[in-house]
Structure 1
Amino acid sequence: MSTPVKGDGRSQRWQAHRTARRAEFVEAAVRAVEAVGPDASIADIAREAGVSKPVLYRYFADKAELHAEVGRWGAELVLDRVVSAVLAPATARARIDAGVAAYLDTIAEHPQTFLLLSTQHAGSADPLADGKQRAATKLARIIGSGLRQLGVDSAGAEPWAFGMVGMAVSVGQWWLDRRTMSRAAVADYLSGFIWHALSGAADEYGVPLSALDPPDNVRPLDPGRQA
């Protein structure tokens, strides 16, 4: 019986180095896009990273792959903040308000980057595709958990979650591009829409969404439970 061959330590170190360098270049891309705008070129990004374009292309096959990595970075940032907000112990309405506020605050911190991600993929792969899938899946688990706590059918959790993510991306793009309304006003409209959609669905089941409010339910919803 042959002895298993251990992994090459040099290969593992190189992979770790490559992963770290890609993360550095993604951060440089975000800085370049924020400084130059959504049309920032590979040359702009390489300059911000302090490397040449050929070096950048050693880590990313093309601009689309780099944009996809920026998309994952942006989606992770939004997801971490929104999930933290909506899982905090509070009333159902307060959780929705907090989640919307966290989303708008995050994209407002990096407006050019999120405009790039939401508008600059015509004719190519959507750089936010993976992030939207992950966000909707996580949101579906949270909604599904809440519906089950209410004792009603949770089958609608997934389509509702995907619908809300799509709406949030569209509203965010519109707001960043137009700026015809204050962040507070956009937050009120968006959270109000989501609240009325979810509370209306709960009312149809004969159980008000407020049944999830403290003190009867002081524990945050568990996203680990499958919808």
Structure 2
Amino acid sequence: MTAPHTDGRASRWDRHRADRRELILAAALEAVRSQGASVGVQEIADLAGVPRSVLYRLFKDRQDLDEQLRTRIIDDLMAALAPTLNPEGTVTEAIARSVDAYIGWIVANPRLHYFLGAGSGSTKDHNSPIVSGTKIAIAGTVREVFERALHAQSAPVAVAEPMAFGLVSFVDGSVNRWLSRSMQPMDAGELSSFLHIAIWAIIDASLREVGITLDPLTSIAEFTAAN
């Protein structure tokens, strides 16, 4: 049987399109980082060095561009958060490490974080599938940690899900409000310290409800080890 013929020109054109998409997304990321979510399509095209018409041949519309850009921003955020989602050290250290990594990324990238929730000035899409999916994935990872710990302590694991999703929503809401008030009335360090205490208080109260009294200086490894 003769192998199917591959058109080299089509392959080169696909690579060219992919390269241009990468160029535009990189330009859009830099434009939002430096100018904010209100940056226009023409400004992004100019920064990428392509005509506006080319941008719209590669992306269906501004909403499509926004969602692809969110994917890039989340990739960057998750690179900072990923090491903290497999907690190590004591419970206190694990909480501090994850909160400080998140707040630190936001302080370095406030406009990118705002864009995740709001999108561009032209679309104002507050229901991004990629953002919602990422929050669910993070909460799911936290839930798995709680489930392992509860199972190791022979405690009911059903509480793990509301604990995890409640904590992620609590942190997200606190941070978004803080950003909406131009990082006031607390500074970043004060907000991090508040969240350390509040997260521990929620975990502690939730565990006590299922009969577990936990010292926050207990190591994660010890707490999640089967008896």
Distance in 2 (CA, whole Å) between partners of 1:21 and 1:127 is 27
Query: How many equivalent pairs are there?
Result: 219
| 1:224 alignment partner in structure 2 | none
CA drift at 1:93: 1.9
Distance in 1 (CA, whole Å) between partners of 2:159 and 2:10 is 46
CA drift at 1:185: 0.8
| 1:161 alignment partner in structure 2 | 164
- Structure 1 residues 219, 145: closer, same or farther in 2, change over 3 A? closer
Distance in 1 (CA, whole Å) between partners of 2:34 and 2:190 is 27
CA drift at 1:103: 0.9
Query: Comparing 12-21 with 149-158, which one deviates more in the overlay?
Result: 12-21
Query: Comparing 67-76 with 149-158, which one deviates more in the overlay?
Result: 149-158
Identity of aligned residues (%): 26
Q: Could you say what secondary structure the match of 1:31 adopts? A: helix
CA contact (8 A) 1:29 1:70 kept: yes
Distance in 1 (CA, whole Å) between partners of 2:156 and 2:45 is 51
CA drift at 1:63: 1.1
| 1:84 alignment partner in structure 2 | 83
1:64 paired to 2:63: yes
Distance in 1 (CA, whole Å) between partners of 2:5 and 2:95 is 49
- Structure 1 residues 4, 193: closer, same or farther in 2, change over 3 A? farther
Written as runs of structure 1 = structure 2, the 5 A alignment for 1:45-194 is: 45-120=44-119, 125-126=125-126, 128-151=128-151, 152-178=155-181, 179-180=183-184, 181-194=186-199
CA contact (8 A) 1:136 1:158 kept: no
Larger radius of gyration: 2
Distance in 2 (CA, whole Å) between partners of 1:213 and 1:6 is 63
Q: Which residue, out of 196, 202, 206, partners 1:201?
A: 206
For the aligned residue pairs, the C-alpha RMSD in angstroms reads 3.2
- Structure 1 residues 118, 133: closer, same or farther in 2, change over 3 A? same
- Structure 1 residues 156, 125: closer, same or farther in 2, change over 3 A? farther
TM-score by length of structure 1 reads 0.78
Residue identity opposite 1:141 in structure 2: T
Structure 1, residues 118-149: CA drift from partner, whole Å, max 9, x if none?
Answer: 23479764364323323322432333233323
CA contact (8 A) 1:150 1:212 kept: no
Distance in 2 (CA, whole Å) between partners of 1:202 and 1:208 is 7
1:25 paired to 2:24: yes
Query: Comparing 153-162 with 186-195, which one deviates more in the overlay?
Result: 153-162
TM-score by length of structure 2 reads 0.78
CA contact (8 A) 1:75 1:135 kept: no
Query: Comparing 44-53 with 158-167, which one deviates more in the overlay?
Result: 158-167
CA drift at 1:153: 2.8
Stretches of structure 1 lacking an aligned partner (at least 5 in a row): 221-227
Query: Comparing 129-138 with 58-67, which one deviates more in the overlay?
Result: 129-138
